[in-house]
Amino acid sequence: MLDNRLSEEHEALRSSVETFARKDVAPVIGDYYEREEFPYPLVQTMGRMGLFGLPVAEEDGGMGGDYFTLCLALEELARVDSSVSITLEAGVSLGLMPIYRFGTAEQKKKWLPGLASGEVLGAFGLTEPGCGSDAGGTRTTAVLDGDEWVLNGSKAFITNSGTDITGFVTVTAVTGTKPDGGKEISTIVVPSGTPGFTVAPKYSKVGWNASDTHELSFDDCRVPAENLLGERGRGYAQFLSILDEGRIAIAALSVGLAQGCVDECLRYAQERESFGRKIGEYQAIQFKIADMETRAHTARLAYYDAAASMQRGERFKRQAAIAKLVASNAAMDNARDATQIFGGYGFMNETPVGRFYRDAKILEIGEGTSEVQRMLIARELGLEAG
């Protein structure tokens, strides 16, 4: 019999993050968002709470938890703000997990303690200008010259890549040609400050304005040969496995945003009066909020299911894609409905609902667009592209 109730340990973690989000994040994040400034004090606090090390074994400097625990933390943070939540999500699933899953003993010893404590952020450089969802279209190259890799190329939309505490970017690059004539893609760790590695000025974004995102370029950038992460030629496969996990995390973040919209609308509906009555007394508002709660609840069940399959060691690609698709749709729909309920106030950046609306759209794009999720689900069902 299925039981979706949280264990005592999971509930304790969820509750502590909820308290942090409401007491520490909510009062200040609007100012960070308006200034488009990275919230270093909040990230430091999350590091002290052990959130960056949640799915990492204690012997590697982590909390000894599981990936589902991370998802619970992401959901609670996103109920208040998505910039802080995506900083944690990318820091763990895209920064830390590649090292944790595929790193050598030396690489783990060098990077994991700082990553798990939040003192160092890692980033993952996959997307390139002009490639988008076509990750296999990687053009960045890495040529082995003696005992060094020489990288040339560029990456776009890379989260956590230009902060003061960014330690490295793991980069996908073409390192040769496979026997079938296809690209041999590998992943290589490029430390921040390496000559030839340039971080462009931060993007001007529609949402996630308190998170860090940059374009990166590599011009004869040299790193030691031992910076190869995992097996040569397996970079693309490694990335796909990391993305499957990351989609569950993004689904959790999306559920948080969707639930945050419900939270704000419930409060507002009980305070705002129109035509002599609380707007929450009007059936039109009640039904809209009921639909919002239904979306959030359904999406939560989807990511719980995907996480459970992952924890059991089962194949979870289909469940992860479903969770990401359903949850990102719920976030976007709830943000739109919440803005409508708030009316003009929902269009103001200083309100959480205004930020939710701006933050929601990227959830249907990042870590695999909704179209990519549908493609993956169809393939998992045995349907081949024509």
For 22-60, write each residue's pLDDT tens digit: 999 999 999 999 999 999 999 999 999 999 999 998 988
Given 128, 215, 264, 367, which residue is catalytic? 367
Mean predicted confidence (pLDDT) in 199-226: 97
The predicted-structure confidence for 323-381, as pLDDT tens digits, reads as follows 999 999 999 999 999 999 999 999 988 899 999 999 999 999 988 899 999 999 999 99
Whether pTM exceeds 0.85: yes
Question: If you compute the radius of gyration of the chain from its CA atoms, what whole number of angstroms results?
Answer: 21
Q: What is the pLDDT of residues 59-70, one digit of tens each?
A: 888 898 899 999
Q: Report the pLDDT value the prediction gives residue 382, as an integer from 0 to 100.
A: 93
- Position 1 confidence tier, pLDDT thresholds 50, 70, 90: very low
Average the pLDDT over 125-152 and give the result: 87
Tell whether the model's pLDDT for residue 127 goes beyond 80.
Answer: yes
Residue 324: predicted pLDDT: 98
The answer to whether 293 is a known catalytic residue is no
pLDDT value at residue 135? 63
Mean pLDDT of 301-317: 95
316's torsion region: left (phi>0), alpha (psi -120 to 50) or beta? Answer: alpha
CA of residue 285 relative to chain centroid, distance: 32
CA distance 75 to 265: 18
Domains and their CATH numbers in the chain: 8-121 (1.10.540.10), 123-233 (2.40.110.10), 237-380 (1.20.140.10)
Give the separation between CA 144 and CA 158, rounded to whole angstroms: 25
Tokens representing 69 are: 């625990």
Whether residue 10 is predicted with pLDDT greater than 50 in this model: the reply is: yes
